Structure 1
Amino acid sequence: MTRTTWLKAGGAVIVAMVVAACAPAETASSPTATSAAGNGDAAAVEETNLSLVGFAVPKAANNAIQELWSQTPEGEGVTWTESYGASGDQSRAVESGLDADYVHFSLEGDVTRLVDAGLVSEDWNAGEHAGIVSQSIVVFAVRPGNPKGIEDWDDLIADDVEIVTPNPGSSGSARWNILAGWGQVIADGGSEEDAKEYTTQLFENVVALPGSGRDATSAFLSGTGDVLLSYENEAILAKQEGEELDYVVPDTTLRIDNPGAVLKDADPKAAAWLEFLYTPEAQGEFAKLGFRPVIDGVEVGEVEGANDPSDPFPAPGTLLNIDDDFGGWDEANPTFFDTENGIITQIQVDTGKSS
């Protein structure tokens, strides 16, 4: 099912046609666009094209921020070539030669891959926000009215519940989802063996493993499954676009931290873009589309599509994070997702859900 991507109009015309798909990701180059930024002298604008490679979910937010940035002196005259898809696939594509000035991925490890390849500086995450440009939490998207009565993690492993989640082999969104399920068992006093048993039951109820978070949303909206493990912002965006679903914030969930980085050989404008992403204005655009701000001082206001638009980002009872609860991605990725010996990889094989 194809979903209409929300684009905010205003400022310079930025046309970026992309396919939010899994692999291979498709790219499209925007035509040259200039903006006088209110000075009436478009001929003086220096034109720059930047290449953005990202995971599928934040496309709408990035496009809105691009248009906002085009109204500033630094962003004036900038056009974009974009590619969106599953985070791991996108990272591997850049490693293999896909042109990029700026990358926006789901997982830190997808940037680290480019550090190891010599494409991104080792100090990319040395700043105040550790390279994280967007943030969300894991939620359950459910059918309107929540007919299965899904409220917390135990409800997901009932015999009659069918789950959609992206595939951890390609999708960063999937890894956040699965670690949230694992971590809530430990947070509730369970053992590693308890967590493995729970996660095995979770996979036994999985009926679809699309390649990316956006593909998983599309599969759910087309009628597959009873519940979708998803980003909070993805559920909010779907509701903003008029899709029929509800979502549940479980009492224990995992904070999702999405990194952004500039490549070593990027156009200097890319560094200015990254700096702009940490402004209240840019983070406000993220918030409008359901992302939780990564900086203080952002006036969020009402967020259409949120469960409570006037209080769109309630604090969960227990909010896990990757560093404190899983030892960071350097430890979590090989432990859980190693292609041969990872705990989750083996669970997928044992439950017949490895593809």
Structure 2
Amino acid sequence: MPMNTKHTARWIGAAAVVSSLLFTSACSDPAASGAGGGDSSSVSVVGFSVMKTANKQVIADFQKTDAGKGVTFQQSYGASGDQARAVIAGLKADEVHLSLEPDVTKLTDEDIVASDWKDGPNKGILTQSVVTMVVRKGNPKGIESWEDLVKPGVSIVTPNPGSSGSAKWNILAAYGHVIAEGGSEADAQAYLEKFLGNVAALPGSGKDATTAFEGGTGDVLLSYENEAIEARQAGADFDYVVPPQTLLIQNPVALTKDASSAAKKFLEYQLSEPGQTDYAKQGFRPLDDAIKVDVEGANDPSDPFPTPETLLTIDQDFGGWSEANTKYFDENDGIVTKLLADSGKS
């Protein structure tokens, strides 16, 4: 069946993304294409960048269970928006675990993921975290709050919202803290102008942003809490701060329409207590508050997930992703898009 012009352009752009993706495989046929894996003993996971390390233990522990015995995995990780476009272009996927809901919506629009993907008890969410501020060892700039980020001489690293889901979480946290403190939309936009004026780098993904910061760029990195913890577990020598007002990050998961039976069993494991415990040990806040673990790399390993003074959410404070994505990140009229363009750093 011939493609229409819109789909052809979308396919060409996404195909370019596929060619540049980091793709690792534990299966015998990494070149296979199509939305789902088909093979009942194979799982193709397409995830946002920071899940590459976190999934290692989850997969290993799943393979020790009766359901996971003999199951092999193909895995692809990268910036969330790029990953969604790659799946549309034909990158093989049984499970998509992306940074934010609009990237899954792209796949429902293409009939790759069913429209009822959020109907389960987990509401389509697999992992969650909060926006944090990663600082140099000893916090030499004394960064404790959002207002500290717009002081003269403070240099910020955060991913680019054009490709990275984590960037959108970061910027909405920065914007939303003004509203949470009683400010107006105009006040929030004025704050964001100052914030963008202090941005030193906009890497393509959350993982790339962490790499840039570790390489010496910037005084502060906006990051997922779990990303900061994971980096410290790997030996990174920096500190991190959970600001008084921050945003709850909830990362969606969905199975493609023709996902393998093994993928369905794997998702059940990821949502189970053992799976969520594995993610918690990697720095993700478990979906079940009853799960308690010591977390190496956290500021307080015995109490790794402190409750901030104000915890913003997309649904309650920004009208949900459908509204927020258009209002702030529309490619032509979004508030953040325009502010980024005006800053000359987009």
TM-score by structure 1 length?
0.88
| Native 8 Å contact 2:40 2:261 kept in 1 | no
- DSSP 3-state at the match of 1:282: helix
- Is the Cα–Cα contact under 8 Å of residues 18 and 91 in structure 2 kept in the other structure? no
The runs of at least 4 aligned residues of structure 1 exceeding 6 Å deviation read none
From 301, 311, 317, the equivalent of 1:309 is 301
1:4 alignment counterpart? none
> 2:169 pairs with 158, 167, 176, which one?
176
Gaps of 5+ in 2: 1-16, 29-38
Q: Which structure's relative contact order is higher, taking Cα pairs within 8 Å and 6+ residues apart?
A: 2
Alpha-carbon distance between aligned partners in 1 of 2:156 and 2:18, rounded to the nearest angstrom: 19
Instruction: Kindly state the Cα deviation for residue 275 of structure 1 after the two structures are TM-superposed.
Output: 1.2
- State whether residues 70 and 78 of structure 1, in contact with CA within 8 Å, keep that contact through their aligned partners in structure 2: yes
Per-residue CA distance 1:212-253 (angstroms, 9 max, x = gap): 000000000000000000000000011111111100000000
The answer to whether residue 276 in structure 2 is matched with residue 254 in structure 1 is: no
CA distance in 1 between counterparts of 2:331 and 2:19 reads 18
Matched residue, 1:197: 190
Q: Secondary structure, in 3 states, of the residue corresponding to 2:75?
A: strand
Distance 1:25 1:79, change over 3 A: same
1:180-211 deviations in whole A, cap 9, x for unaligned? 00000000000000000001111110010000
Residues in 2 aligned to 1:218 and 1:333: alpha-carbon distance in whole angstroms: 27
Paired AA for residue 292 in structure 1:
R
CA–CA separation in structure 2 for the residues paired with 1:306 and 1:299: 13
Mapped contact 1:24–1:85 kept (Cα < 8 A): no
The equivalent residue for 2:10 is none
Residue 250 of structure 2 aligns to a residue whose secondary structure is strand
The residue that corresponds to 2:317 in the other structure is: 325
Specify the SS of the correspondent of 2:129.
strand
Letter in 2 for 1:338: D
Pick one of 314, 334, 338 that aligns with 1:346. Answer: 338
In structure 2, C-alpha distance between the alignment counterparts of 1:200 and 1:85, rounded to whole Å: 28
SS at match of 2:96: strand
Match of 1:108 in 2: 101
Alignment check: 8 A CA contact 1:22 1:212 kept: no
Alignment check: 8 A CA contact 1:23 1:211 kept? no
Q: Is 2:219 the counterpart of 1:226?
A: yes
After TM superposition, the score normalised by the length of structure 2 is 0.90
- Partner SS for 1:258: strand
Q: Aligned letter for 2:22?
A: E
What is the RMSD computed on CA atoms of the aligned residues?
A: 1.5
CA displacement, residues 28-68 of structure 1 (integer Å, 9 cap, x when unaligned)? 22146xxxxxxxxxxxxx98221111100122121110001
**Equivalent AA in structure 2 for residue 226 of structure 1:** D
Moved more, 164-173 or 267-276: 267-276
Paired residues for 1:231-310 under 5 Å: 231-300=224-293, 302-310=294-302
Matched, 1:28 2:57: no
Q: Check whether the contact 1:278–1:295 (CA below 8 A) recurs between aligned residues.
A: no
**1:276 Cα deviation after fit:** 1.1
For residues 298 and 252 of structure 1, what CA distance do their matches in structure 2 show? 24
CA contact (8 A) 1:24 1:89 kept: no
SS at match of 2:87: helix
Measure the CA separation in 2 of the matches of 1:148 and 1:299. 33
Q: Give SS of 1:277's match.
A: helix
Count how many residue pairs are aligned between Structure 1 and Structure 2: 320
Q: 2:137–2:237: 8 Å Cα contact kept in structure 1?
A: yes
How far apart are the structure 2 equivalents of 1:258 and 1:23?
25
State how far apart, in whole Å, the 1-side matches of 2:328 and 2:20 are. Answer: 25
Q: Distance in 1 between matches of 2:192 and 2:70?
A: 49
The answer to whether the 8 A contact 1:23-1:86 is kept is no
Judge conservation of contact 2:40–2:260 (CA < 8 Å) in 1: no
- Map of 2:145 onto structure 1: 152
Paired residue type of 1:264 = K
CA distance in 2, matches of 1:28, 1:229: 27
Aligned-partner Cα distance in 2 for 1:333–1:109: 7
CA distance in 1 between counterparts of 2:252 and 2:220 reads: 27
1: CA distance between counterparts of 2:247 and 2:40?
41
Give, as a single letter, the amino acid of the residue that structure 1 aligns with 2:67.
Answer: E
Q: CA deviation at 1:296?
A: 3.7
- Following superposition, the deviation at residue 277 of structure 1 comes to 1.2
The CA distance in 1 between the partners of 2:335 and 2:226, in whole Å, is: 28
